[in-house]
Amino acid sequence: MQKKVKEKIERKFIILPLHHIDTSIILEPEKTQNGRFCKKYLQILGYNYRGRLSLPVMGELFIKINSLEDIQDRQLAFEIITDLIKARKIDFYVPESIGDLIQKIMNLDTRIKPTDAEILACSIEDNAKTLVTLDQVLINNKIIEQNFKIRIKHPKELV
């Protein structure tokens, strides 16, 4: 009986819209207005949306955490992120072949930074419905959205 319930829950989870989550959503301080939207968005992951972190996002998170001087701060940051990943059922994406996608993205909009192009390329390659970010160059970027059939949204548009 419990196996059937678990399978039913997993089926419901799989059909949730797939969102790739940018680094900024995880790192934005809760005391800012954007941070409050990020917190609300992260709280509905696993219920309204299926969240995924790409390898470039994980790299940015690791670099930021590793830059913390105090070892206790570093350990706490890792624990907060791993607890978030577990609680919200966030999984991971490792790109397969995004080189051409990155180049096409950067040719379409030269304002996009290389790391942001990598994160966006992972979202596109993984067929995500939406990339959630605070990056104003990316949010609702019609050229990118139309060319790659992906939505790029601020978390306030999703809560």
Amino acid 39: pLDDT: 96
Q: Are 130 and 151 within 8 A, CB to CB?
A: yes
Considering Cα of 128, then 25, then 121, then 139, what sign does the dihedral take?
positive
DSSP state of 96: S
pTM of the model: 0.90
Q: Is 54 left (phi over 0), alpha (psi -120 to 50) or beta?
A: beta
CATH number of 12-157: 3.40.50.1010
Question: pLDDT for 66-86, tens place per residue?
Answer: 999 999 999 999 999 999 999
Average pLDDT (20-28) is 97
State how beta strands 151-153 and 130-132 pair: parallel
Q: What is the mean pLDDT of the chain?
A: 93
More confident of the two residues 6 and 29: 29
The answer to whether residue 11 scores a pLDDT higher than 80 is no
Give the 3-state secondary structure of residue 152.
strand
Share of the chain above pLDDT 70, in %: 91
